[in-house]
Structure 1
């Protein structure tokens, strides 16, 4: 069965469902589980990275804010895993999520299953550049489970 599972998390309901599925699989397979959240670097271009852009609504340190939000998602997911007796590794990555997932969590890196939600919280990015999930399904060299 599966021995090394990565689950991508963005705080969406679909990613929470993906986490629940990944935990069930990890328990039944005695697999190692890695929780991953990718800070989307393209959002820096959409939102700007400084308060001098002309709006006071944009945080001065947008990258730090996003990293903290990603870490919060992973902390909540880790607490869920702890409740279910699953030891996990936690990783916050930065980059274009679909590329980071395909390049860092495939067979070559030792993962035999990727679990992800069918859609996430980044609707703007999906409209502009396409679905992360669709890209991963088309380009990953490992098994991908889409939960939705």
Structure 2
């Protein structure tokens, strides 16, 4: 018997890897007639280091995120996804994507782009993707290829 996914989560951050995961998530959601959850996590820890914390910075980042999520939602609906939920979350991306959001929304599949970090960056800050694969309460699909099956790692559109 094939696994039927009902609630698919894809986290977007503006990276090429996340964009690729988003497009694959649309296809998987269509095949499963699933609800697609598209989230963007604003890492609030980045604002704690700013000596003169200004709430307008958070508002500006939030506004930019809202616009991007609206575009993602429109793209998903244009591609046949009927049930799309978008959300801006605040906190640590690792725990939000791996534990908090999936638990609160009965997510049964997380689709996430393969890390864009090099070995030194992974050592210092850790990979969100790696953390999610180790800690999520549901299945995780790490997207490493585009819709044509070409590797994302050395893709010409990757920045």
TM-score by length of 2: 0.76
1:109 Cα deviation from its structure 2 partner = 3.8
1:3-42 maps to which residues of 2 (within 5 A)?
A: 3-42=6-45
Which range is displaced more, 100-109 or 90-99?
100-109
Report the aligned-residue RMSD: 2.3
Higher helix share goes to which structure? Answer: 1
Q: How many residues align?
A: 137
- Supply the distance in 1 between the matched residues of 2:122 and 2:44 (Cα, whole angstroms): 14
Structure 2 gap segments, 5+ residues each? 145-159
Indicate the residue corresponding to 1:95 in structure 2.
Answer: 91
Q: 1:107 to 1:42 in 2, by over 3 A?
A: closer
Q: 1:47 to 1:91 in 2, by over 3 A?
A: same
- Supply the distance in 2 between the matched residues of 1:92 and 1:120 (Cα, whole angstroms): 22
Partner of 1:144, secondary structure, is: strand
Indicate the residue corresponding to 2:81 in structure 1.
Answer: 86
Indicate the residue corresponding to 2:60 in structure 1.
Answer: 65
Structure 1 gap segments, 5+ residues each? 52-59
1:96-135 maps to which residues of 2 (within 5 A)?
A: 96-106=92-102, 109-119=105-115, 128-135=124-131
Which string of whole-angstrom CA distances, capped at 9 and with x for unpartnered residues, describes residues 19-48 of structure 1?
A: 111000010110111111001111113445
Partner of 2:41, secondary structure, is: strand
1:50 Cα deviation from its structure 2 partner = 3.2
Asked whether the equivalents of residues 10 and 22 of structure 2 are also in contact (C-alpha less than 8 Å), the reply is yes
Indicate the residue corresponding to 1:136 in structure 2.
Answer: 132
Query: Where do 4+ consecutive residues of structure 1 move more than 6 Å?
Result: none
1:72 Cα deviation from its structure 2 partner = 2.4
TM-score by length of 1: 0.81
